[in-house]
Amino acid sequence: MPVSPSPTFDLSAQHQFRQQLVAGLTQARNQGCLFLSISRDLPPIDPLLALAGLSDCGMDPQADYFYLEQPGTGMAIAALGALRTYTAEGCQRFQDVRHFCQTTFAQIFCLDGGHPRIFCHFTFHDRPTGHQGTSASRAILPQWQIHQRDQQVQLTLNCDVLLEPGEIDRLCGQWQRIWEHLQTLPPTFDIESVMVPTISLPNLTVQHQGFVRGVHTALKVLQTGEMEKLVLACAADITAPRPFSWEATLQNLRHHYPNCYLFSVRCDGGSTFVGASPERLVSLEQGVLTADALAGSSPRGGDRHQDQALTTALYHSEKDRHEHQVIVQFLSHTLKNLGLLIPPPGEPQVLKLANIQHLQTLIRATPHPAVHLLDILAALHPTPAVAGYPRAIAYEWMRQLETFERGMYAAPLGWVDCNGEGEFIVGIRSALLQGTMARLYAGAGIVRGSDPEREWQEVLLKLQALVSAIA
Protein backbone atom coordinates (compact mmCIF):
# COMPACT_ATOMS: atom_id res chain seq x y z
CA MET A 1 0.00 0.00 0.00
CA PRO A 2 1.77 3.20 -1.15
CA VAL A 3 2.34 5.92 1.45
CA SER A 4 3.21 9.56 0.69
CA PRO A 5 5.28 12.02 2.76
CA SER A 6 3.43 14.02 5.43
CA PRO A 7 2.89 17.66 4.45
CA THR A 8 1.28 19.97 6.99
CA PHE A 9 -1.66 22.29 6.55
CA ASP A 10 -4.32 24.04 8.57
CA LEU A 11 -7.17 21.55 8.92
CA SER A 12 -9.74 24.30 9.38
CA ALA A 13 -8.88 25.89 6.02
CA GLN A 14 -11.20 24.17 3.56
CA HIS A 15 -9.43 25.41 0.44
CA GLN A 16 -6.13 23.94 1.66
CA PHE A 17 -7.82 20.63 2.33
CA ARG A 18 -9.31 20.66 -1.16
CA GLN A 19 -5.87 21.19 -2.69
CA GLN A 20 -4.50 18.35 -0.60
CA LEU A 21 -7.38 16.07 -1.53
CA VAL A 22 -7.06 16.74 -5.27
CA ALA A 23 -3.30 16.15 -5.13
CA GLY A 24 -3.84 12.92 -3.20
CA LEU A 25 -6.43 11.67 -5.64
CA THR A 26 -4.02 12.28 -8.52
CA GLN A 27 -1.21 10.40 -6.75
CA ALA A 28 -3.54 7.54 -5.89
CA ARG A 29 -4.70 7.18 -9.49
CA ASN A 30 -1.10 7.27 -10.70
CA GLN A 31 -0.33 4.42 -8.33
CA GLY A 32 -3.26 2.40 -9.69
CA CYS A 33 -5.16 2.54 -6.38
CA LEU A 34 -8.93 2.61 -5.99
CA PHE A 35 -9.15 4.44 -2.66
CA LEU A 36 -7.49 7.35 -0.88
CA SER A 37 -7.01 7.59 2.90
CA ILE A 38 -6.19 10.89 4.66
CA SER A 39 -5.69 11.30 8.41
CA ARG A 40 -5.34 14.40 10.58
CA ASP A 41 -4.62 14.82 14.28
CA LEU A 42 -7.39 16.30 16.42
CA PRO A 43 -7.41 17.92 19.84
CA PRO A 44 -8.70 15.65 22.65
CA ILE A 45 -12.42 14.93 22.15
CA ASP A 46 -15.00 12.38 23.23
CA PRO A 47 -15.34 9.95 20.28
CA LEU A 48 -18.77 8.83 21.48
CA LEU A 49 -20.08 12.40 21.50
CA ALA A 50 -18.45 12.96 18.12
CA LEU A 51 -20.10 9.91 16.58
CA ALA A 52 -23.49 10.69 18.13
CA GLY A 53 -23.48 14.17 16.62
CA LEU A 54 -22.18 13.45 13.13
CA SER A 55 -25.72 13.18 11.76
CA ASP A 56 -25.83 16.97 12.17
CA CYS A 57 -23.01 17.26 9.62
CA GLY A 58 -25.05 16.09 6.67
CA MET A 59 -24.50 12.36 7.33
CA ASP A 60 -27.18 9.79 6.65
CA PRO A 61 -28.74 9.09 10.09
CA GLN A 62 -29.20 5.45 9.01
CA ALA A 63 -25.60 5.02 7.82
CA ASP A 64 -23.52 2.08 9.00
CA TYR A 65 -21.50 2.81 12.11
CA PHE A 66 -19.19 0.97 14.46
CA TYR A 67 -18.07 1.98 17.96
CA LEU A 68 -15.62 0.26 20.30
CA GLU A 69 -14.19 1.68 23.51
CA GLN A 70 -12.29 0.54 26.58
CA PRO A 71 -12.75 3.44 29.01
CA GLY A 72 -10.11 2.31 31.50
CA THR A 73 -7.35 2.46 28.88
CA GLY A 74 -8.46 5.58 27.00
CA MET A 75 -8.91 3.60 23.76
CA ALA A 76 -11.89 4.41 21.57
CA ILE A 77 -12.61 4.03 17.89
CA ALA A 78 -15.63 5.24 15.92
CA ALA A 79 -16.48 4.70 12.27
CA LEU A 80 -19.33 6.05 10.15
CA GLY A 81 -20.48 5.42 6.61
CA ALA A 82 -19.60 2.47 4.38
CA LEU A 83 -17.23 3.14 1.48
CA ARG A 84 -16.91 -0.56 0.75
CA THR A 85 -18.87 -3.44 2.33
CA TYR A 86 -18.49 -7.20 2.21
CA THR A 87 -20.89 -9.81 3.57
CA ALA A 88 -20.00 -13.44 4.21
CA GLU A 89 -21.72 -16.61 5.34
CA GLY A 90 -20.64 -20.21 5.74
CA CYS A 91 -17.75 -21.97 7.40
CA GLN A 92 -15.18 -19.98 5.36
CA ARG A 93 -16.52 -16.56 6.37
CA PHE A 94 -13.40 -15.58 8.34
CA GLN A 95 -11.11 -16.51 5.46
CA ASP A 96 -13.39 -14.71 2.99
CA VAL A 97 -13.28 -11.55 5.11
CA ARG A 98 -9.49 -11.84 5.40
CA HIS A 99 -9.24 -11.93 1.60
CA PHE A 100 -11.52 -8.89 1.35
CA CYS A 101 -9.39 -6.98 3.86
CA GLN A 102 -6.07 -7.83 2.22
CA THR A 103 -7.42 -7.00 -1.25
CA THR A 104 -8.95 -3.72 -0.10
CA PHE A 105 -5.86 -2.52 1.79
CA ALA A 106 -3.73 -3.22 -1.29
CA GLN A 107 -5.96 -0.78 -3.21
CA ILE A 108 -5.68 2.13 -0.75
CA PHE A 109 -3.25 5.02 -1.18
CA CYS A 110 -2.42 6.52 2.23
CA LEU A 111 -1.76 10.25 2.20
CA ASP A 112 -0.20 12.13 5.10
CA GLY A 113 -0.08 9.27 7.57
CA GLY A 114 -3.43 7.77 6.63
CA HIS A 115 -4.23 4.75 8.78
CA PRO A 116 -7.38 3.03 7.47
CA ARG A 117 -9.07 0.22 9.35
CA ILE A 118 -11.71 -2.29 8.32
CA PHE A 119 -14.39 -3.05 10.89
CA CYS A 120 -15.81 -6.55 11.12
CA HIS A 121 -18.68 -8.18 12.96
CA PHE A 122 -19.54 -11.84 12.69
CA THR A 123 -22.52 -13.99 13.56
CA PHE A 124 -22.10 -16.78 16.09
CA HIS A 125 -23.28 -19.49 13.69
CA ASP A 126 -21.89 -19.70 10.19
CA ARG A 127 -25.40 -19.80 8.73
CA PRO A 128 -27.86 -17.91 10.96
CA THR A 129 -31.52 -18.80 10.66
CA GLY A 130 -32.52 -15.23 9.89
CA HIS A 131 -33.37 -13.31 13.09
CA GLN A 132 -33.71 -9.68 12.10
CA GLY A 133 -30.47 -7.74 12.28
CA THR A 134 -28.26 -10.81 12.23
CA SER A 135 -28.42 -12.11 8.67
CA ALA A 136 -24.72 -12.19 7.81
CA SER A 137 -21.18 -11.41 8.90
CA ARG A 138 -19.91 -8.10 7.54
CA ALA A 139 -16.68 -6.20 6.93
CA ILE A 140 -16.79 -2.44 6.27
CA LEU A 141 -14.23 0.07 5.06
CA PRO A 142 -15.79 3.24 6.53
CA GLN A 143 -15.75 6.68 5.00
CA TRP A 144 -15.07 8.41 8.31
CA GLN A 145 -13.10 7.14 11.28
CA ILE A 146 -12.06 8.65 14.62
CA HIS A 147 -9.41 6.87 16.67
CA GLN A 148 -8.31 7.79 20.19
CA ARG A 149 -5.40 6.30 22.10
CA ASP A 150 -3.55 7.83 25.06
CA GLN A 151 -5.23 11.23 24.53
CA GLN A 152 -4.09 11.27 20.91
CA VAL A 153 -7.00 11.55 18.48
CA GLN A 154 -6.98 11.11 14.73
CA LEU A 155 -9.67 11.74 12.10
CA THR A 156 -9.44 9.64 8.93
CA LEU A 157 -11.29 10.06 5.64
CA ASN A 158 -11.43 7.22 3.12
CA CYS A 159 -12.80 7.95 -0.36
CA ASP A 160 -12.91 6.68 -3.94
CA VAL A 161 -10.21 8.07 -6.23
CA LEU A 162 -12.61 8.58 -9.16
CA LEU A 163 -14.48 11.59 -7.80
CA GLU A 164 -16.18 14.17 -10.00
CA PRO A 165 -15.53 17.87 -9.18
CA GLY A 166 -18.97 18.19 -7.60
CA GLU A 167 -18.30 15.18 -5.36
CA ILE A 168 -14.97 16.69 -4.32
CA ASP A 169 -16.75 19.92 -3.34
CA ARG A 170 -19.35 17.97 -1.35
CA LEU A 171 -16.67 15.97 0.45
CA CYS A 172 -14.68 19.11 1.30
CA GLY A 173 -17.81 20.75 2.69
CA GLN A 174 -18.53 17.68 4.78
CA TRP A 175 -14.96 17.64 6.10
CA GLN A 176 -15.32 21.28 7.13
CA ARG A 177 -18.64 20.66 8.89
CA ILE A 178 -17.18 17.68 10.75
CA TRP A 179 -14.21 19.75 11.86
CA GLU A 180 -16.49 22.52 13.11
CA HIS A 181 -18.72 19.96 14.84
CA LEU A 182 -15.74 18.46 16.66
CA GLN A 183 -14.68 21.94 17.81
CA THR A 184 -18.05 22.57 19.47
CA LEU A 185 -18.79 19.27 21.23
CA PRO A 186 -20.61 19.65 24.57
CA PRO A 187 -18.62 18.64 27.66
CA THR A 188 -20.96 15.76 28.55
CA PHE A 189 -23.64 13.61 27.00
CA ASP A 190 -27.23 14.62 27.82
CA ILE A 191 -28.51 11.20 28.91
CA GLU A 192 -31.78 12.42 30.38
CA SER A 193 -33.02 13.71 27.03
CA VAL A 194 -32.92 10.29 25.38
CA MET A 195 -33.11 7.64 28.09
CA VAL A 196 -36.31 5.61 28.25
CA PRO A 197 -38.22 5.46 31.55
CA THR A 198 -37.25 2.82 34.08
CA ILE A 199 -38.35 -0.65 33.02
CA SER A 200 -37.96 -4.09 34.54
CA LEU A 201 -37.31 -7.57 33.27
CA PRO A 202 -40.51 -9.27 32.12
CA ASN A 203 -41.74 -12.52 33.60
CA LEU A 204 -39.09 -15.05 32.64
CA THR A 205 -40.82 -18.20 33.86
CA VAL A 206 -40.67 -19.83 30.42
CA GLN A 207 -36.98 -18.95 29.99
CA HIS A 208 -36.24 -20.12 33.53
CA GLN A 209 -37.90 -23.48 33.03
CA GLY A 210 -36.27 -24.02 29.64
CA PHE A 211 -32.84 -23.02 30.90
CA VAL A 212 -33.00 -25.29 33.97
CA ARG A 213 -34.17 -28.21 31.82
CA GLY A 214 -31.24 -27.56 29.52
CA VAL A 215 -28.79 -27.52 32.43
CA HIS A 216 -30.14 -30.86 33.72
CA THR A 217 -29.71 -32.36 30.26
CA ALA A 218 -26.20 -30.94 30.00
CA LEU A 219 -25.24 -32.39 33.39
CA LYS A 220 -26.33 -35.86 32.27
CA VAL A 221 -24.19 -35.58 29.14
CA LEU A 222 -21.27 -34.25 31.17
CA GLN A 223 -21.46 -37.26 33.47
CA THR A 224 -20.93 -39.59 30.50
CA GLY A 225 -17.62 -37.87 29.70
CA GLU A 226 -18.84 -36.86 26.24
CA MET A 227 -18.31 -33.18 27.12
CA GLU A 228 -16.32 -31.20 29.67
CA LYS A 229 -18.35 -28.00 29.34
CA LEU A 230 -21.46 -26.61 27.66
CA VAL A 231 -22.45 -22.94 27.51
CA LEU A 232 -26.19 -22.29 27.53
CA ALA A 233 -27.70 -18.86 26.94
CA CYS A 234 -31.15 -17.35 26.95
CA ALA A 235 -32.79 -14.26 25.47
CA ALA A 236 -35.29 -11.89 27.11
CA ASP A 237 -37.40 -9.45 25.08
CA ILE A 238 -38.53 -6.15 26.60
CA THR A 239 -40.58 -3.22 25.33
CA ALA A 240 -40.25 0.45 26.25
CA PRO A 241 -42.69 3.36 25.83
CA ARG A 242 -40.21 5.17 23.56
CA PRO A 243 -37.25 4.08 21.42
CA PHE A 244 -34.07 2.91 23.09
CA SER A 245 -30.94 5.04 22.66
CA TRP A 246 -27.68 3.29 21.88
CA GLU A 247 -25.75 6.49 22.70
CA ALA A 248 -27.23 6.79 26.18
CA THR A 249 -26.80 3.06 26.75
CA LEU A 250 -23.08 3.33 25.98
CA GLN A 251 -22.77 6.35 28.24
CA ASN A 252 -24.37 4.35 31.07
CA LEU A 253 -22.14 1.35 30.40
CA ARG A 254 -19.08 3.61 30.24
CA HIS A 255 -19.82 4.83 33.74
CA HIS A 256 -20.54 1.43 35.31
CA TYR A 257 -18.11 -0.83 33.41
CA PRO A 258 -14.82 1.03 32.83
CA ASN A 259 -12.94 -2.30 32.67
CA CYS A 260 -15.08 -3.68 29.84
CA TYR A 261 -15.11 -3.17 26.10
CA LEU A 262 -18.11 -1.05 25.15
CA PHE A 263 -19.46 -1.60 21.66
CA SER A 264 -22.26 -0.60 19.34
CA VAL A 265 -22.83 -1.69 15.75
CA ARG A 266 -25.63 -0.88 13.32
CA CYS A 267 -27.02 -4.11 11.86
CA ASP A 268 -29.23 -5.03 8.95
CA GLY A 269 -32.75 -3.62 9.16
CA GLY A 270 -31.71 -0.63 11.28
CA SER A 271 -31.27 -2.51 14.55
CA THR A 272 -28.31 -1.85 16.86
CA PHE A 273 -26.17 -4.41 18.66
CA VAL A 274 -24.80 -2.90 21.87
CA GLY A 275 -23.12 -4.09 25.04
CA ALA A 276 -20.23 -4.15 27.50
CA SER A 277 -18.02 -7.20 27.08
CA PRO A 278 -15.37 -8.15 29.64
CA GLU A 279 -13.75 -10.50 27.13
CA ARG A 280 -11.22 -9.71 24.46
CA LEU A 281 -10.90 -12.65 22.12
CA VAL A 282 -7.59 -11.70 20.53
CA SER A 283 -5.51 -8.61 19.78
CA LEU A 284 -2.30 -8.02 17.87
CA GLU A 285 -0.34 -4.88 18.65
CA GLN A 286 3.33 -4.08 18.08
CA GLY A 287 4.16 -7.71 17.43
CA VAL A 288 2.48 -9.09 20.56
CA LEU A 289 -0.62 -11.25 20.35
CA THR A 290 -2.90 -11.46 23.39
CA ALA A 291 -5.89 -13.72 23.99
CA ASP A 292 -8.15 -13.67 27.04
CA ALA A 293 -9.17 -16.75 28.99
CA LEU A 294 -12.25 -15.65 30.93
CA ALA A 295 -14.34 -18.25 32.74
CA GLY A 296 -15.48 -18.92 36.27
CA SER A 297 -17.87 -16.38 37.82
CA SER A 298 -19.15 -15.12 41.13
CA PRO A 299 -21.35 -12.17 42.18
CA ARG A 300 -19.85 -9.16 43.95
CA GLY A 301 -20.41 -8.71 47.66
CA GLY A 302 -22.52 -6.08 49.36
CA ASP A 303 -19.55 -4.82 51.42
CA ARG A 304 -15.78 -5.11 51.35
CA HIS A 305 -15.58 -8.18 53.62
CA GLN A 306 -18.31 -10.09 51.80
CA ASP A 307 -16.79 -9.17 48.45
CA GLN A 308 -13.37 -10.44 49.51
CA ALA A 309 -14.91 -13.67 50.78
CA LEU A 310 -16.62 -14.22 47.43
CA THR A 311 -13.38 -13.45 45.60
CA THR A 312 -11.47 -15.98 47.70
CA ALA A 313 -14.17 -18.60 47.23
CA LEU A 314 -14.10 -18.05 43.45
CA TYR A 315 -10.34 -18.29 43.27
CA HIS A 316 -10.25 -21.59 45.16
CA SER A 317 -13.42 -23.10 43.71
CA GLU A 318 -12.61 -26.49 42.15
CA LYS A 319 -15.55 -26.17 39.77
CA ASP A 320 -14.63 -22.65 38.59
CA ARG A 321 -10.91 -23.38 38.35
CA HIS A 322 -11.66 -26.43 36.18
CA GLU A 323 -13.98 -24.38 33.95
CA HIS A 324 -11.27 -21.74 33.63
CA GLN A 325 -8.49 -24.22 32.90
CA VAL A 326 -10.48 -25.67 30.00
CA ILE A 327 -10.34 -22.23 28.32
CA VAL A 328 -6.63 -21.74 29.06
CA GLN A 329 -5.74 -25.12 27.58
CA PHE A 330 -7.91 -24.56 24.51
CA LEU A 331 -6.39 -21.16 23.73
CA SER A 332 -2.82 -22.33 24.30
CA HIS A 333 -3.26 -25.51 22.25
CA THR A 334 -4.99 -23.71 19.35
CA LEU A 335 -2.38 -20.95 19.13
CA LYS A 336 0.50 -23.44 19.27
CA ASN A 337 -1.09 -25.41 16.44
CA LEU A 338 -0.99 -22.21 14.36
CA GLY A 339 2.76 -21.99 14.90
CA LEU A 340 2.75 -19.27 17.56
CA LEU A 341 5.29 -19.23 20.39
CA ILE A 342 3.59 -19.17 23.81
CA PRO A 343 5.26 -18.91 27.23
CA PRO A 344 3.58 -20.91 30.01
CA PRO A 345 0.45 -19.07 31.26
CA GLY A 346 0.56 -17.76 34.82
CA GLU A 347 -1.98 -18.13 37.58
CA PRO A 348 -5.41 -16.62 36.93
CA GLN A 349 -6.33 -13.21 38.28
CA VAL A 350 -9.77 -12.02 39.34
CA LEU A 351 -11.41 -9.44 37.07
CA LYS A 352 -13.85 -7.41 39.17
CA LEU A 353 -16.80 -5.78 37.40
CA ALA A 354 -19.68 -3.78 38.83
CA ASN A 355 -21.91 -6.73 39.73
CA ILE A 356 -19.88 -9.83 38.86
CA GLN A 357 -16.29 -11.10 38.97
CA HIS A 358 -14.45 -13.60 36.79
CA LEU A 359 -11.26 -15.63 36.71
CA GLN A 360 -9.03 -14.25 33.97
CA THR A 361 -5.74 -15.35 32.41
CA LEU A 362 -4.01 -13.42 29.63
CA ILE A 363 -2.32 -15.64 27.04
CA ARG A 364 0.63 -13.90 25.35
CA ALA A 365 2.14 -15.15 22.11
CA THR A 366 4.61 -14.23 19.40
CA PRO A 367 2.69 -14.31 16.09
CA HIS A 368 3.90 -16.09 12.98
CA PRO A 369 4.28 -13.65 10.05
CA ALA A 370 2.42 -15.99 7.70
CA VAL A 371 -0.64 -16.25 9.97
CA HIS A 372 -3.16 -13.43 9.58
CA LEU A 373 -5.14 -12.17 12.56
CA LEU A 374 -8.38 -13.35 10.92
CA ASP A 375 -6.91 -16.84 10.54
CA ILE A 376 -6.36 -16.86 14.29
CA LEU A 377 -9.91 -15.62 14.80
CA ALA A 378 -11.25 -18.46 12.65
CA ALA A 379 -9.36 -21.03 14.70
CA LEU A 380 -10.49 -19.62 18.05
CA HIS A 381 -14.21 -19.05 17.44
CA PRO A 382 -16.20 -20.27 19.21
CA THR A 383 -14.08 -20.73 22.31
CA PRO A 384 -15.18 -23.01 25.18
CA ALA A 385 -16.06 -19.79 27.05
CA VAL A 386 -19.07 -19.22 24.77
CA ALA A 387 -19.79 -22.69 23.37
CA GLY A 388 -18.22 -25.50 25.37
CA TYR A 389 -15.66 -28.26 25.00
CA PRO A 390 -15.04 -30.37 22.97
CA ARG A 391 -16.24 -27.69 20.63
CA ALA A 392 -18.02 -29.76 17.96
CA ILE A 393 -20.02 -31.84 20.47
CA ALA A 394 -20.88 -28.82 22.63
CA TYR A 395 -21.96 -26.90 19.54
CA GLU A 396 -24.48 -29.58 18.57
CA TRP A 397 -25.94 -29.78 22.08
CA MET A 398 -26.16 -26.01 22.27
CA ARG A 399 -28.11 -25.92 19.01
CA GLN A 400 -30.53 -28.53 20.38
CA LEU A 401 -31.11 -26.94 23.78
CA GLU A 402 -31.25 -23.21 22.95
CA THR A 403 -34.57 -22.02 21.56
CA PHE A 404 -33.44 -18.70 20.05
CA GLU A 405 -31.05 -17.51 17.34
CA ARG A 406 -27.80 -16.18 18.82
CA GLY A 407 -27.13 -13.84 15.92
CA MET A 408 -24.17 -11.66 16.90
CA TYR A 409 -24.37 -12.66 20.56
CA ALA A 410 -21.08 -14.21 21.74
CA ALA A 411 -19.54 -13.74 18.27
CA PRO A 412 -16.37 -11.75 17.43
CA LEU A 413 -16.44 -8.09 16.50
CA GLY A 414 -13.57 -5.69 16.04
CA TRP A 415 -11.17 -4.27 13.48
CA VAL A 416 -8.04 -4.98 11.48
CA ASP A 417 -5.70 -2.35 10.06
CA CYS A 418 -3.49 -1.99 7.02
CA ASN A 419 -0.53 -3.47 8.95
CA GLY A 420 -2.39 -6.66 9.85
CA GLU A 421 -2.82 -5.63 13.48
CA GLY A 422 -6.17 -5.31 15.19
CA GLU A 423 -8.41 -6.27 18.07
CA PHE A 424 -11.50 -8.45 18.40
CA ILE A 425 -13.76 -8.89 21.39
CA VAL A 426 -16.57 -11.33 22.17
CA GLY A 427 -20.08 -9.83 21.92
CA ILE A 428 -21.41 -10.96 25.31
CA ARG A 429 -23.36 -8.92 27.92
CA SER A 430 -25.20 -7.55 24.93
CA ALA A 431 -28.58 -6.49 23.56
CA LEU A 432 -30.17 -5.98 20.16
CA LEU A 433 -32.10 -2.68 20.06
CA GLN A 434 -34.72 -1.83 17.47
CA GLY A 435 -37.03 1.07 18.18
CA THR A 436 -39.00 0.35 21.35
CA MET A 437 -37.98 -3.32 21.36
CA ALA A 438 -34.86 -4.84 22.90
CA ARG A 439 -33.62 -8.41 23.06
CA LEU A 440 -31.18 -9.06 25.93
CA TYR A 441 -28.73 -11.96 25.89
CA ALA A 442 -26.93 -13.75 28.72
CA GLY A 443 -25.45 -17.18 29.30
CA ALA A 444 -23.56 -19.40 31.73
CA GLY A 445 -20.99 -22.18 31.48
CA ILE A 446 -22.14 -25.60 32.65
CA VAL A 447 -19.59 -28.13 33.96
CA ARG A 448 -19.76 -31.11 36.26
CA GLY A 449 -20.83 -29.82 39.65
CA SER A 450 -22.91 -26.94 38.28
CA ASP A 451 -26.13 -26.19 40.13
CA PRO A 452 -29.02 -25.34 37.74
CA GLU A 453 -30.55 -22.67 39.97
CA ARG A 454 -27.20 -21.05 40.69
CA GLU A 455 -26.48 -20.89 36.96
CA TRP A 456 -29.89 -19.31 36.38
CA GLN A 457 -29.15 -16.69 39.03
CA GLU A 458 -25.93 -15.86 37.18
CA VAL A 459 -27.93 -15.37 33.98
CA LEU A 460 -30.43 -13.16 35.80
CA LEU A 461 -27.58 -11.08 37.23
CA LYS A 462 -26.25 -10.42 33.74
CA LEU A 463 -29.71 -9.64 32.31
CA GLN A 464 -30.50 -7.21 35.13
CA ALA A 465 -27.26 -5.35 34.48
CA LEU A 466 -28.31 -4.92 30.84
CA VAL A 467 -31.75 -3.60 31.83
CA SER A 468 -30.08 -1.04 34.07
CA ALA A 469 -27.90 0.07 31.18
CA ILE A 470 -30.60 0.60 28.55
CA ALA A 471 -33.26 2.17 30.78
Q: Which residues are catalytic?
A: 229, 279
CA distance 257 to 263: 12
CA distance 300 to 401: 29
Helix (H) or strand (E) holding 250: helix 246-256
Q: CA angle, 180 as apex, 271 and 21 as ends, to 5°?
A: 90
Q: Which of 35, 447, 70 is nearest to 279 (CA)?
A: 70
Pairing of β 137-149 and β 75-88 = antiparallel
CA distance 176 to 57: 9
Asked whether the bond before 390 is cis by omega within 30 degrees of 0, the reply is yes
169 Cα distance to chain centroid: 34
Which residues have a Cβ under 8 Å from the Cβ of 470 and sit 6 or more positions away?
196, 244, 249, 252, 274, 431, 433, 438
Pairing of β 117-121 and β 65-70 = unpaired
Which residues have a Cβ under 8 Å from the Cβ of 128 and sit 6 or more positions away?
89, 134, 135, 136, 405, 406, 407
CB-side neighbour CA atoms (13 Å) of 282: 28
- SS3 assignment, position 412: strand
Please report, for residues 14, 218, 277, 325, the alpha-carbon distance to residue 328 in angstroms, rounded to integers and kept in the order given: 53, 22, 19, 5
CB-side neighbour CA atoms (13 Å) of 440: 27
